[in-house]
Structure 1
Amino acid sequence: MSQPWSTALVVLGGLLLVWLLLVAALVVAGRRDERSGRLAEALRLLPDVVRLLRRLAGDRDLPRGVRVRLWLLLAYLAMPLDLVPDVIPVAGYADDAIVVALTLRSVVRHAGPQALERHWPGTPDGLAAVRRLAGLRE
């Protein structure tokens, strides 16, 4: 086999391995979140969370890195293709919720919980659920 083809196969194999590890991590995280009920909360709050993400991404007071992460998350949510296909039980539907929760944790770590409170469009109960998803204590 020629050098370019073997290099391409090695790169594709590496990408496939990384993807499989990511799927395994999402399955494990999804099971953990499913037991605690956080996944169900995240799915119920999806419309308000998407509005929150859009408002946070447009807030010029937040650090640029945080806003870039939020725009990348919004682009990922808008893509018709997922990291994990929806036909895979638990992980197929949980990957979006898990990626959102991880991004919210990053936003809170860099911008503070006040950013969530300032931009939350929903009810106080919904904000409490989002705070839990973001890893904040009540």
Structure 2
Amino acid sequence: MDWWQVLVAVGGGLLLLWAVVLALLWRSRPEDLTVREALRLLPDLIRLVRRLATDRSLPGGVRLRLWLLLGYLLSPVDLVPDVVPVLGHADDVVVVALALRSVARTAGNEALTRAWPGTPAGLAVVVRLAGLDQRPAARLRPDVGPD
């Protein structure tokens, strides 16, 4: 087997692995969440993740996951390059959703609500993105009304 055949085989394997990971990430997103809705929240989500990562009241493992998420978001290397229209940022949204679900289940709605820098409507989307019940967040933030 020549070196170029090995290179093509390894490249094809990596491409296939990338496609499988992307499909799994996309499949695990909340069904009613649109990409456009999630992309609008990206600046507030980054501030939320940074605030949670520096919150000493959260367990160290949670903060470590958040720092790793920030590193992924700031890294120029993504599952789907950001130059690909829509899908380039969609993978970021899916990765943030998965990380927020993990963090929110450990830290709780209270930590998300306390650290949220955006609007009440944005918080409702983040709570939905994290796969949490929206009612506890509404009780904690009096300016968030029921749907």
TM-score by length of 1: 0.78
Unaligned runs of 5+ in 2: 135-147
Alignment of 1:109-120 (within 5 A): 109-120=105-116
2:138 is matched with none
1:79 alignment partner AA: S
Partner amino acid for 1:20?
A: A
Deviation at 1:80, TM superposition (A): 1.1
Native 8 Å contact 1:38 1:133 kept in 2: no
Higher helix proportion: 1
The letter of the residue matching 2:20 is: L
C-alpha separation in 1, matches of 2:61 and 2:50: 15
Identity of aligned residues (%): 62
Higher RCO by CA contacts (8 Å cutoff, separation 6 or greater):
1
Query: Using the alignment, how far apart are the partners of 2:72 and 2:52 within structure 1?
Result: 16
Among 100, 106, 109, the residue aligned to 1:104: 100
Gaps of 5+ in 1: none
TM-fit CA distance, 1:27: 4.5
- What is the CA deviation profile of residues 42-100 of structure 1, one whole-angstrom value per residue up to 9, with x for unaligned ones? 11111111100000000011011110000000000001121112355653321000000
Q: Does 1:38 align with 2:50?
A: no
With the length of structure 2 as denominator, give the TM-score of the two structures.
Answer: 0.74
Q: How many residues align?
A: 130
